[in-house]
Structure 1
Amino acid sequence: MATEYPAAGTAAAGRGDESRIHDIGYRGYDGPRLGRSYATRSLYSQSLRGAYGLGRSVKSKVLPMLLFVVMCVPAAIMVAVAVATKAKELPLDYTRYAIVMQAVISLYVASQAPQSVSRDLRFKTVPLYFSRPIEIADYVRAKYAALASALFVLTAAPLLVLYAGALLAKLDFADQTAGCAQGLLSVALLSLLFAGISLVIASLTPRRGFGIAAVIAVLIISYGAVSVVQAIAFHQDSTGAVAWLGLFSPVTLIDGVQSAFLGASSAFPGGQGPTGAQGAVYLLLCLGLVAASYGLLIRRYRKAGL
């Protein structure tokens, strides 16, 4: 006995032997299959926009946009002073700007890292991503790249304001270009490091508040603690220990790398940053933390995607 089924895009209705077929408008998709790369790029774009509240409510835009303005205003003031006074150099080196503004950068990444990943964990939407043609590594790369890009925009924008102001003030073009390039390289490394550490911490809890507090503790509190211990060591004439203590905070780690390899002035007590072998240890640790953050995120989402 054969049974007749309705075709795709139709529905059957009836009573007894009477039946009717209704066309309810469904159509099969016969367009191009864009695949994993397109899905990964879409997730990256959506996450990057979300880091500044774009495409979200007005309330979500307030904090990231406010912090962006706070990052750029001091640079604009320095530019105005340099132009008005016809200064021979900028008040602050390009490589020092992010270190001075580290609290603002830390607050930004502490607020946006949990927004990027904690909500997916809280509402258990991670397995839905992996039901599509997207792999765990694709998800991690998209989220990591998006937050690192958002941080780079936050930290590079004031450097470009400084650079434009320096050119308006008719400072030496070659010196300013080299300094700006060094600053951009430094904040690129900072963005990778801060994004990786923050995403690892935020991915451990679906509670956004816990994630924010934990990121602040790792970035801001660790910097304060290391700076205090460095100052104590310096005043007790243990100057050799000052550079090694800088390995225990992400902010001082970036400070050490740029002072060792980019010729930047150091914020360490006495102004003496790591040199020689110490600088190599700083760089290797920094790159190792970036790689370890990526690996830990892959491991975390192998469990979260089940």
Structure 2
Amino acid sequence: MSADTRGGQQPASQTRIHNIGYRNYAGARLGRSYARRSLYAQSLRGAYGLGRSAKSKVLPMILFGIMCVPALIIVAVAVTTKMKDLPVEYTEYALIMQLVIALFVAAQAPQSVSRDLRFRTVPLYFSRPIEHTDYVVAKLGAMASALLLLTAAPLLVLYIGALLAKMDFAEQTGGFAQGMASVALLSLLFGGLSLVVAALTPRRGFGVAAIIAVLVISYGAVTTVQAIAWSTDHLDAVAWLGLLSPVTLIDGVQTAFLGAASAFPGGEGPGTGVGAVYLLVVLALIAASYGILLRRYRKVGL
């Protein structure tokens, strides 16, 4: 019983007992798979600014538009002039637009992981039914999916335009399939490398600069050295130098196995033998990216 304002006692009939204890959760427990899917969906949406402020949507949407506009122009010209073939191969398009792809991944990879590191929210993820592997798979899958959307959309525009222009169906379908295989491999490689670089620092600006260096500066350096080797008749060195840049790795793989034209000096990419080395290096880099991210987040999550 409680005392009244005059120091007396209230009658027993006016007493109340309040139970303010917690209730047990009686709802559905969705488990790790649901948490992993939710983190994947949230990360994929975040790569395009969805669910965030209007300011966050500006850059990814502009870059997505820049990727698609040249394809729309090519389609318009092809349909109007009744071309028999597209002026750009499906496997060439992503390499031509590589700077846009690099800017997209440089801007969005740090946003995906650096904020969690900077604000120390990573341990909160692991307080839920989610493991380190779930976090890494969700983030890597989301970034690769975002890149695949970015690179596959213009190829789909080209394919639809080619069919509208009544180009050969079998030829265009084969070329489109080759282009999709190329950009799928590119998305996994670029996504993995960019997340590794971004996860090394909580500073977003440092992550952006480092990713641009890995993707853009390395390509410029490799192509310059390749051109020097070609001009001095060191032709065998041209193919091996391509192993030193992510962009030239994709170029070499699609030249060797997808029948694509090479952007190497002289237009001669690696043959099937050297191309197998290219493919092994690409797959090793993707696997290494996953392993490094897993090791990184095992330490961060402590």
Give the TM-score taking structure 1 as reference length.
Answer: 0.93
Give the corresponding residue for 1:271: 267
What's the Cα RMSD here?
1.7
Is 2:278 aligned against 1:282? Answer: yes
Aligned partners of 2:47 and 2:146 also within 8 Å: yes
Aligned partners of 2:67 and 2:150 also within 8 Å: yes
Any residues of structure 2 matched to 1:130-279 within 5 Å, and which? 130-279=126-275
When residues 14 and 232 of structure 1 are mapped into structure 2, their CA distance, relative to the original with a 3 A threshold, is: farther
Tell me which amino acid in the other structure corresponds to 2:205.
G
Give 1:24 deviation, angstroms.
Answer: 5.8
**Aligned partner (choices 47, 68, 77) of residue 72 of structure 1:** 68
Give 1:27 deviation, angstroms.
Answer: 4.5
Give the corresponding residue for 1:3: none
Tell me which amino acid in the other structure corresponds to 1:190.
L
Same amino acid, percent of matched pairs? 74
- Tell me how far apart the structure 2 counterparts of residues 228 and 14 of structure 1 sit (CA, whole Å): 86
Partner of 2:17: helix, strand, or coil? Answer: strand
1:156-201: per-residue Cα shift (whole Å, max 9, x none)? 0000000000000000000000000000000000000000000000
Is 2:121 aligned against 1:125? Answer: yes
Aligned partners of 1:14 and 1:20 also within 8 Å: no
Partner of 2:138: helix, strand, or coil? Answer: helix
- Tell me how far apart the structure 2 counterparts of residues 15 and 114 of structure 1 sit (CA, whole Å): 60
- Tell me how far apart the structure 2 counterparts of residues 185 and 144 of structure 1 sit (CA, whole Å): 18
- Tell me how far apart the structure 1 counterparts of residues 154 and 176 of structure 2 sit (CA, whole Å): 10
Give the corresponding residue for 1:101: 97
Give the corresponding residue for 1:36: 32
- Tell me how far apart the structure 1 counterparts of residues 2 and 145 of structure 2 sit (CA, whole Å): 58
Give 1:15 deviation, angstroms.
Answer: 6.5
How many residues are matched? 294
Partner of 1:92: helix, strand, or coil? Answer: coil
1:263-303: per-residue Cα shift (whole Å, max 9, x none)? 00000010000002210100000000000000000000011
- Tell me how far apart the structure 1 counterparts of residues 24 and 18 of structure 2 sit (CA, whole Å): 16
Tell me which amino acid in the other structure corresponds to 1:289.
L
- Tell me how far apart the structure 1 counterparts of residues 197 and 298 of structure 2 sit (CA, whole Å): 16
- Tell me how far apart the structure 2 counterparts of residues 227 and 145 of structure 1 sit (CA, whole Å): 30
- Tell me how far apart the structure 2 counterparts of residues 267 and 22 of structure 1 sit (CA, whole Å): 77
- Tell me how far apart the structure 1 counterparts of residues 27 and 2 of structure 2 sit (CA, whole Å): 34
Give the corresponding residue for 1:5: none
Any residues of structure 2 matched to 1:7-46 within 5 Å, and which? 20-22=16-18, 27-46=23-42
Give 1:29 deviation, angstroms.
Answer: 2.1
Partner of 1:22: helix, strand, or coil? Answer: coil
**Aligned partner (choices 19, 35, 56) of residue 52 of structure 2:** 56
Aligned partners of 2:257 and 2:272 also within 8 Å: no
Partner of 1:300: helix, strand, or coil? Answer: helix
Give the corresponding residue for 2:106: 110
Aligned partners of 2:201 and 2:207 also within 8 Å: yes
Give the TM-score taking structure 2 as reference length.
Answer: 0.94
Tell me which amino acid in the other structure corresponds to 2:51.
G
**Aligned partner (choices 43, 54, 64) of residue 47 of structure 1:** 43
Aligned partners of 1:233 and 1:242 also within 8 Å: yes
Segments of 5+ residues of structure 1 without an aligned counterpart are 1-12
When residues 25 and 169 of structure 1 are mapped into structure 2, their CA distance, relative to the original with a 3 A threshold, is: farther
